[in-house]
Structure 1
Amino acid sequence: MSVAESPETVSGVEIELENVTKRYPGTREPAVDDFSMVVPAGKIVVFVGPSGCGKTTTMRMINRLIEPTSGRITIGGDDALKLDVDTLRRRIGYAIQQAGLFPHFTVAQNIAVVPGLLGWDKKKVDDRVEEMMDLVGLDPADFRDRFPRQLSGGQQQRVGVARALAADPPVLLMDEPFGAVDPITRGNLQDELLRLQTDLKKTIVFVTHDFDEAVKLGDKIAVLGNQSRILQYDTPDAILANPADDTVAGFVGAGASLKQLTLLRVRDVELKQDALTATVSESPSEVREKLIQQRKHFALVLDQRRRPMRWVHVRELTKATSLSTAGKPLRDYVSLQSTLQDALEAMLAEGGSVPVTGARGEYAGTIELDTVIATIQQLREEHSDDSPAEGVTA
């Protein structure tokens, strides 16, 4: 599906698992016992649970990296267990922790693997590689000929997602794909996935042990216990408000009210548009004059595609020869898909207001602490008004 199509277009398909069981030889208990679930088309469903509970095993049975012992799995109405396994896997994108890239392939060659296996002609493959690199925020001119060892962990994960989506599969399976990167990069990758999903509307099954990640990403969350027993399968807000039992409540943990911040997005609040911005090619002296005229201390430097790069103080422009090196690189930023919790964490890293990026990483404004605090206060008042009075008798 072209990203130019309507965001309402759903390219994903429904997945249904019926009484799926996995029993390994020589074990008394099944690893997965009688698992049944419908994953809606075009939605992100997150499996969350403790290590060893069977969540990864359950997900891998969807693309038959692990063969079910019994049960039925349908993908878009097709019986997955009756399809040729290679054909099935080429219809399902798969992204894992630490990307799993082929080390001796370039970025472009890694992304081109499945389209090549499907017999696409060279021009179509090259066009798709360029499209996917742009989609995940990697400039093809800079990155297509690099090898995985020449990339940061976050860049490798972006390539992994691009490779998983290259053949335009309706289903994407993601097995703790962001678990091996630092917290800031992890937040940015989560935002990137949500941005992509806004355009692509794939059916995504995502495995994590991090409940906060599940709340941020999931349209629905399946909290799993031993043998992949479903303890609760519902929307994030429903699980936060009403955990099904003590085990689920343990996953929610303390500070459930603070986790409500992960249900609110930066796009839901008003952004500030008063920061002075300058493209990296502008003259430092001219930017300094603008700051002085507008009585501002900082300018936000943008690259040629209007993506935030660095903050520069008016004092640092006196002797600067280029905006590409003046000031300090951004420690953190957020996107319109980010949660207000992400924004608060970024404010702590940046020490003040934080740049916000749009659909293609372009600058969209800034978010400030007073905006977040006002939003939280408003929600608190609304919840107080909605709460039934206690202790009232007729």
Structure 2
Amino acid sequence: MSVAEHEKVSGVEIELDHVTKRYSGTREPAVDDFSMVVPAGKIVVFVGPSGCGKTTTMRMINRLIEPTSGRITIGGEDALKFDVDKLRRGIGYAIQQAGLFPHFTVAQNIGVVPGLLGWDKKKVTDRVEEMMDLVGLDPRDFRDRFPRQLSGGQQQRVGVARALAADPPVLLMDEPFGAVDPITRGNLQDELLRLQTELKKTIVFVTHDFDEAVKLGDKIAVLGNRSSILQYDTPEAILANPADDTVAGFVGAGASLKQLTLLRVRDVELKQEALTAGIDESPAEVRQKLAGQRRQFVLVLDAKRRPARWVHGRELVSATSLENAGRPLRDVVSLQSTLQDALEAMLAEGGAVPVTGSRGEYAGTIHLETVIATIQQLRDEHADDHEADESEGAPA
């Protein structure tokens, strides 16, 4: 498949044209006459109830499930005409609980597809290290670990790295973050959005969580029985105008509050007032800095300028190194995080939260007052829109 043979390929368009899947012995098809264009370089999220056919539809793209009829093209090429193994090696695939090979190390798991594609050993090793760095796992610490030695969030990062290792234009993700805790899930979502700003893959993402769909999707397909498309539009459009009562049920109560998931941390002003110190600086020097600027806390950054710890001045008196002084950060948010994520992180941290940039580097802090002011602005705008609608509907 030619789309898999280019080493640097951004996303390509996927088209499903009247695709149907029937299983023998059943009256109704599992997927009935499904047609959709997934734009190149965008994230399209399939959301719907369990059993509606969303995962079946997605798996027909890489032919883990063979369609009964219809046509699927990837980058203009007919996916049904290719050798199925070559097709799958050209499409990244990430699933819930990562699906890692338990007897392979992290490096071996990530290098599976490049190895199958015949890459030489050095190229595979270099790519594995690049991918680990990209998903925020230090190769020195994690390369030789086995999946059982990783947390759930770390396993999912390895799963994403493996899916991206051969630089496929298309990535399929089947509820990949559904089995981790809410904070880790939010961080993994942020990581995916950060990666997407760099890589611009075409991503089809399956979830049953509408909030996740709103956060991640450039477009959302709300699916009903047999993968019928109830609405296919941007998150903003679906929140503002659900197509019918079923879609409105997915949106749920508090649609206006869900607008917070459409606003990103990058959309608001960050503060730069936090005093920072490198992790290799001496505690005595940092203590002098704090005293000179009449500050109580310092934010310690690691060797890659990533936020690592908050340290109070009094904790520096007996500290011999900044590596273990103070307390590690409970939570950080990225420029890709939603304002809802930022609010949750502030509750966990008990105050202002550090914000990271595209490679995890420190970019500033976000404060509760900033988010509250944004919420108030949203309320005012909604009130103005409501008054305008009422005035337009009033009799002359």
Give the Cα–Cα distance (whole angstroms) in 1 for the partners of residues 201 and 147 of structure 2: 26
Segment of structure 1 superposing worse, 281-290 or 300-309: 281-290
In structure 2, give the amino acid aligned to 1:230. Answer: I
Counterparts in 2 of 1:309 and 1:79: CA distance versus 1, 3 Å: same
In structure 1, give the amino acid aligned to 2:339. Answer: L
Residues 19-54 of structure 1, C-alpha deviation per residue, up to 9 Å, x if partnerless?
111111111111111111110000000000111111
Q: What residue is the counterpart of 2:95 in the other structure?
A: 96
Deviation at 1:285, TM superposition (A): 2.1
Give the Cα–Cα distance (whole angstroms) in 1 for the partners of residues 203 and 274 of structure 2: 37
Matched, 1:374 2:373: yes
Deviation at 1:10, TM superposition (A): 7.5
Q: What residue is the counterpart of 1:85 in the other structure?
A: 84
Identity, in percent, stands at: 88
Equivalent positions of 1:190-229 (< 5 A) are 190-229=189-228
In structure 1, give the amino acid aligned to 2:142. Answer: F
Q: What residue is the counterpart of 1:254 in the other structure?
A: 253
Asked if the contact 1:63–1:89 (Cα under 8 Å) also holds between the matched residues in 2, the reply is yes
Asked if the contact 1:15–1:38 (Cα under 8 Å) also holds between the matched residues in 2, the reply is yes
The unaligned stretches of length 5 or more in structure 2 are 1-7
Matched, 1:158 2:160: no
User: Secondary structure of the residue that 2:80 maps to in structure 1?
Assistant: helix
Q: What residue is the counterpart of 1:280 in the other structure?
A: 279
Residues 95-128 of structure 1, C-alpha deviation per residue, up to 9 Å, x if partnerless?
0011111111111111111111111111111111
Asked if the contact 1:10–1:41 (Cα under 8 Å) also holds between the matched residues in 2, the reply is no
Matched, 1:267 2:269: no
Segment of structure 1 superposing worse, 383-392 or 200-209: 383-392
Stretches of 4+ aligned residues off by more than 3 angstroms: 382-387
Give the Cα–Cα distance (whole angstroms) in 1 for the partners of residues 253 and 389 of structure 2: 25
In structure 2, give the amino acid aligned to 1:285. Answer: A
The unaligned stretches of length 5 or more in structure 1 are 1-8
Give the Cα–Cα distance (whole angstroms) in 2 for the partners of residues 255 and 383 of structure 1: 13
Asked if the contact 1:72–1:79 (Cα under 8 Å) also holds between the matched residues in 2, the reply is yes
Q: What residue is the counterpart of 1:70 in the other structure?
A: 69
Q: What residue is the counterpart of 2:323 in the other structure?
A: 324
Asked if the contact 2:9–2:168 (Cα under 8 Å) also holds between the matched residues in 1, the reply is no
Q: What residue is the counterpart of 1:172 in the other structure?
A: 171
Give the Cα–Cα distance (whole angstroms) in 2 for the partners of residues 359 and 305 of structure 1: 12
Q: What residue is the counterpart of 2:48 in the other structure?
A: 49
Asked if the contact 1:14–1:41 (Cα under 8 Å) also holds between the matched residues in 2, the reply is yes
Deviation at 1:232, TM superposition (A): 0.5
Asked if the contact 2:333–2:341 (Cα under 8 Å) also holds between the matched residues in 1, the reply is yes
User: Secondary structure of the residue that 1:206 maps to in structure 2?
Assistant: strand
Equivalent positions of 1:319-358 (< 5 A) are 319-358=318-357
Give the Cα–Cα distance (whole angstroms) in 2 for the partners of residues 258 and 327 of structure 1: 35
Give the Cα–Cα distance (whole angstroms) in 1 for the partners of residues 121 and 325 of structure 2: 42
Deviation at 1:332, TM superposition (A): 0.6
Please report the RMSD computed on the Cα atoms of aligned residues, expressed in angstroms: 1.3
Segment of structure 1 superposing worse, 12-21 or 292-301: 292-301
Deviation at 1:385, TM superposition (A): 3.6
Give the Cα–Cα distance (whole angstroms) in 1 for the partners of residues 236 and 44 of structure 2: 14
Asked if the contact 2:171–2:201 (Cα under 8 Å) also holds between the matched residues in 1, the reply is yes
Give the Cα–Cα distance (whole angstroms) in 1 for the partners of residues 114 and 383 of structure 2: 54
In structure 1, give the amino acid aligned to 2:30. Answer: A
Residues 299-334 of structure 1, C-alpha deviation per residue, up to 9 Å, x if partnerless?
111111111111111222221222111111111110
Deviation at 1:382, TM superposition (A): 3.2
Segment of structure 1 superposing worse, 189-198 or 306-315: 306-315
Normalised by the length of structure 2, the TM-score is 0.95
Matched, 1:137 2:139: no
Q: What residue is the counterpart of 1:24 in the other structure?
A: 23
Counterparts in 2 of 1:92 and 1:389: CA distance versus 1, 3 Å: closer
Q: What residue is the counterpart of 2:395 in the other structure?
A: 393
Give the Cα–Cα distance (whole angstroms) in 1 for the partners of residues 42 and 33 of structure 2: 23
Counterparts in 2 of 1:152 and 1:99: CA distance versus 1, 3 Å: same
In structure 1, give the amino acid aligned to 2:298. Answer: A
Equivalent positions of 1:177-192 (< 5 A) are 177-192=176-191
User: Secondary structure of the residue that 1:299 maps to in structure 2?
Assistant: strand
Asked if the contact 1:311–1:327 (Cα under 8 Å) also holds between the matched residues in 2, the reply is yes
Deviation at 1:393, TM superposition (A): 3.4
